[in-house]
Amino acid sequence: MRTFRIVLFAPLALLRLIFVVFISAYVAVIGWIWLITKGFSNKLQHWVLQTWGKSCLFILGIQMKHNKLPKIENFILMPNHRSYLDIFVVASLIPATMVSKAELKNWPMGKLGAKITNLILVDRSEIKSLIKTMNRIKETVNNGIPVILFPEGGTYKGPLTKKFKNGSFQIASQALIPVIPAAINYKDEDDAWVGKETFLPHFFRQMGKPVTKVDIRFGTPVSGNDHKEIQNRVKGQIDDMLGLLQN
């Protein structure tokens, strides 16, 4: 049945992939021109992320429900991580600086994308990279730009969250930066992109559906000087919200 669905909806998935590549290239080119003529600015970052995120959600047929983001100025948003689709979801809602793996710079348009969105790239195998990342997160938030990072450090199918990485919570506690937990849940659990499955087979299997439904819920900001306490409270909120979204 799954193979039949893949074959049946493959033309729609292919068309969507072409349009995602096109809109990504369009946004990157306009962002590059903006960057070299006017320099980097929050306005550039906002335009790139929201234009790209909202356009991709529309192209991919993603129907999203969400509550209101808490009204605080400086914060780190920490969602659970299910799929590459999460990037489009959060980018469409919050034009913030994202923290990603250093390997992204090797992707097509990766370096350019990092420049026009103020992306923070981290190599977890290098202490110097981790320290640099911590400093950039502090600097970015202090400049009034929110930061988004996935504390699980990779995708996880769920149903709840896996163990969180410690580093991000140490940053939040040392700099007294509030953390906003967020829960992302897909109605179809197979939308999760996990394990060793490569991108294209997953994309053609899942993005051939007419509609993909996702819920994102923002929790209550958490702050303090004890990183373990922050970590436990953030994880607890996300797991609780995921439990509610799945009922």
pLDDT digits (tens, 9 = 90+) for 57-107: 999 999 999 999 998 988 999 999 999 999 999 999 998 999 887 666 666
Contacts 24+ apart (CB under 8 A), 193-200: 193/82, 193/83, 193/84, 193/85, 193/155, 194/82, 194/155, 194/156, 194/157, 199/84
What residue ranges do the domains of the chain occupy?
A: 2-245
The pLDDT score that the predictor gives to residue 2 is 54
pTM of the model: 0.90
Pick among 3.40.1130, 2.60.120, 3.40.640, 1.10.10: CATH of 2-245: 3.40.1130
Instruction: Walk along the chain (247 residues) and give the pLDDT tens digit of each residue.
Output: 554 455 555 889 999 999 999 999 999 999 999 999 999 998 999 999 999 999 999 999 999 999 999 989 889 999 999 999 999 999 999 989 998 876 666 666 667 888 898 888 877 666 666 677 888 888 888 888 899 999 998 899 999 999 998 888 988 898 889 999 999 999 999 999 998 888 998 999 899 999 999 999 999 999 999 999 999 999 999 999 999 999 8
Cα–Cα distances in angstroms (integers) from residue 214 to residues 43, 57, 137, 184, in the given order: 28, 11, 28, 7
Residue 190 is given by DSSP the state: G
Cα distance between residue 243 and residue 209, in whole Å: 25
pLDDT of amino acid 75: 94
Measured in residues, the chain has a length of: 247
